[in-house]
């Protein structure tokens, strides 16, 4: 079964490359029928042989799949939780490609929204590891991760390098420029002055703050507004997608809005946002303060970590800072490139960096 999976994978990756070189097909077809020139480029023949091989493998794999499960060729399978946001996903992808390249492991990428469901799966071993967990937003770290006072059923595998900042943001066109509507909106103390700008039908006299999209993130936006004496109503849009959509639509129409957001995030590549300064974080005063910096970390299933120390070490060593992540996010979300390509390009260009992460 494992073999089938691999074969299909190899077929998949090959096929993504070959058909785009349409000239190869013609070259090969003419070779087959012995009509005309064999090929214009002499070294094509090698490539042709290569994809002949691919198709044969495919057929072979099918035969194998149909009859019996083939022998395992890879050292194992890494069941990875892939984040559904670009920054987190590209981090995972870099790890995956190193694991596939250097450790002879197959990676099964499982995309699902982060949250308790995913943590549950990592705890029970259905998933082996996850990357870039934001401690402020996770309900399970205090429950499962030792470093946060949990019972150790999930293991922290080093910091991921990204340090997250959360705050309230306004679009730059509101605070800068000649026709800026709120030129003096710099800190939370200026927010009441401009509350009128953010009024909506539903919020009545109060300004509307687009708060954290889900209650389970425990941002406590409503409480913060109350405690800071701000004349705003925090609304929850239910999902992250809705939250960004609302911001993007308002931005495109150049309407005023004030919204919770965090960095690094692709939204900052799409929209030019400025943070509104909040009181410095303090656990005692929370939530009348801003957020703590999120030192994000990678995490894994303890059993998996024990059995695969090499991979665990790689993931622990792995580190990508905000500045390193930003161009990757830009390439994927703004230039619209494939995440796999962006990751493999990064690996090609930064061999020294990632070779140093490998276990000695």
Partner 1 sequence: MASSLAGSFACNCKIPLHRRDESVRSQQRLLKSAIAPYHAVVLAKVKRLINSTNVTPIALRQGLFSYRGYNLTIPVYIALGLLLSVALYSVTANRFPFPQQIIDGFAFADWVNDGRSWLEDNLKTYTRAIAEVVKVPLEWLEETLWVLPWTVVLLLLVIPALAYGGLKLGLLTFFGVLFWGMVDMWYEAMSTLSLMTVSVAFSALLGVILGIIASQSDRFESLIKPVLDTMQTMPAFVYLIPAIFFFGVGATPAAMAIIIYALPPAVRLTNLGIRQVPASMVEAAQSFGSSRLQMLFKVKLPQALPSIMLGVNQCIMMGLGLAVLAVFIGGGGLGEQIWKALTRLKVGWAFEGGISIVFMAIIFDRLSYAISGVGKDKTRQPDTRFRLLPQKWDQNSVARSLERPLDSLCQLYHSAAGKLTGSITTPLHFVIPGLAAALQKRPLFLPGILIIVITYFVASQFNWMSSFPAWLELSLRDPIDYAIDWLTVNPTFIGITQGIRSTVFLYLLNPLDSFLSGLPWWYVMAMLGLIVWKSTTLRFAITTTAFLLFLAAAGLWEISMFTLAGTSVSVLICMLFGVPLGIVAAYSKPVDAVLRPILDAMQTLPAFVYLIPALFFFGGNKTTAVIATVIYAIPPVIRLTTLGLKQLPAEVNEVAGSFGSGTLQTLFKVKLPMASPSIMLGLNQAVVFALAMQAITPLVAGLGLGKEVYNAMNSADLGQGLTAGIGIVLLTIMLDRLTQGWTRNQRRALGL
Nearer to partner 1 by Cβ, of 153 and 316: the residue is: 153
Phi, then psi, of 281 in degrees rounded to 5: -65, 135
Cα Rg of the chain (Å, integer): 25
Both tokens assigned to 78: 């890494």
What is the sign of the dihedral through the CA atoms of 60, 62, 66 and 70? positive
What does the alpha-carbon distance between residue 342 and residue 340 come to, in Å, rounded to a whole number? 6
Of the candidates 27, 195, 237, 315, which one interacts with partner 1 according to CB under 8 A? 237
Buried b (16+ CB within 10 A) or exposed e, 199-233: beeebeebbbbbbbbbeebebbbbebbeebebbbb
Residue 42-61 contact track with partner 1, rule CB under 8 A, x = bound: ---------x--xxx-xx-x
Among positions 56-85, residues that touch partner 1 (CB under 8 A) are 56, 58-59, 61-62, 65-66, 79, 81, 84-85
What span, in angstroms and rounded, lies between the C-alpha atoms of 82 and 96?
10
Closest distance of CB 345 from partner 1, Å: 20
**What does the block give as tokens for 151?**
């019972």
Secondary structure letter of residue 277 according to DSSP: B
154-183: contacts with partner 1 (CB under 8 A):
none
| End-to-end CA separation in angstroms for the chain | 32
Nearest-approach distance from CB 34 to partner 1, in angstroms: 15
**Binding of partner 1 by 12 (CB under 8 A):** yes
Whose tokens are 């939370």? That residue is: 188
Beta-sheet strands, E only, within 117-184: 129-133, 155-171
Least distance CB 203 / partner 1 (angstroms) = 9
The minimum distance between CB 122 and partner 1, in angstroms, equals: 9
**Binding partner 1 by CB under 8 A: which of 23, 49, 104, 111?**
111
State which of positions 179-218 bind partner 1 (CB under 8 A): 200-202, 210, 214-216
Identify which of residues 185 and 259 has a Cβ nearer to partner 1 in the complex. Answer: 259
Choose the binding region for partner 1 from 91-99, 164-172, 231-239, 347-355 (rule: CB under 8 A): 231-239
Binding marks (x or -) toward partner 1, 113..152, rule CB under 8 A? x-xxxx-xx--x-xx-----------x-------------
Shortest approach of partner 1 to residue 268 CB, angstroms? Answer: 14
Q: Which is nearer to partner 1, 110 or 275 (CB)?
A: 110
Q: What would the x/- binding string for partner 1 be over residues 240 to 269, using CB under 8 A?
A: xxxxxxx-xx--xx------------x---
For CA atoms 326, 331, 333, 335, give the dihedral sign: positive
- Interacting residues of 258 by C-beta distance below 8 A, sequence separation 6+: 168, 169, 170, 191, 198, 207, 208, 209, 210, 232, 276
- Nearest to partner 1 of 96, 357 (CB atom): 96
Instruction: For the beta carbon of residue 92, count every other beta carbon within 10 angstroms.
Output: 25
Candidates 142, 239, 282, 350; binder of partner 1 (CB under 8 A) is 239
- Taken in order 17, 19, 23, 27, the sign of the CA dihedral is positive
The interface with partner 1 within residues 340-359 (CB under 8 A) comprises none
């Amino acid at each position: 079964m494992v073999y089938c999976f691999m074969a299909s994978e190899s077929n998949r990756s090959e096929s993504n490359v070959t058909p785009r070189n349409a000239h190869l097909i013609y070259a090969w077809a003419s070779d087959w029928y012995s009509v005309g020139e064999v090929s214009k480029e002499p070294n094509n023949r090698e490539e042709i042989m290569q994809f002949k091989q691919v198709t044969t493998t495919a057929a072979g794999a099918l035969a194998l799949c149909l009859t019996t499960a083939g022998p395992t060729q890879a050292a194992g399978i890494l069941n990875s939780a892939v984040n559904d946001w670009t920054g987190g996903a590209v981090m995972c992808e870099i790890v995956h490609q190193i694991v596939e390249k250097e450790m002879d492991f197959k990676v099964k990428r499982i995309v699902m929204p982060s949250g308790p469901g995913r943590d549950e799966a990592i705890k029970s071993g259905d998933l082996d590891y996850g990357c870039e967990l934001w401690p402020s937003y996770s309900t399970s770290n205090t429950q499962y991760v030792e470093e946060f006072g949990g019972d150790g059923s999930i293991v922290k595998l080093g910091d991921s390098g990204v340090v997250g900042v959360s705050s309230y943001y306004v679009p730059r066109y509101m605070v800068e420029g000649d026709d800026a509507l709120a030129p003096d909106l710099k800190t939370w103390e200026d927010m009441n002055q401009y509350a009128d700008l953010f009024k909506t039908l539903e919020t009545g006299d109060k300004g509307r703050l687009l708060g954290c999209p889900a209650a389970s993130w425990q941002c406590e936006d409503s409480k913060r507004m109350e405690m800071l004496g701000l004349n705003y109503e925090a609304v929850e849009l239910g999902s992250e997608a809705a939250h960004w959509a609302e911001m993007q639509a308002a931005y495109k129409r150049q309407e005023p809005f004030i919204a919770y957001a965090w960095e690094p995030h692709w939204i900052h590549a799409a929209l030019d946002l400025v943070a509104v300064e909040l009181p410095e974080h303090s656990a005692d005063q929370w939530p009348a303060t801003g957020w703590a910096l999120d030192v994000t970390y990678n995490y894994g299933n303890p059993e998996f970590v024990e059995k695969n120390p090499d991979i665990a070490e790689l993931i622990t060593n792995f580190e990508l800072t905000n500045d390193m992540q930003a161009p990757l996010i830009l390439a994927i979300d703004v230039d619209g490139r494939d995440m796999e390509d962006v990751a493999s390009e990064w690996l090609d260009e930064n061999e020294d960096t990632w070779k140093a992460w490998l276990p000695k």
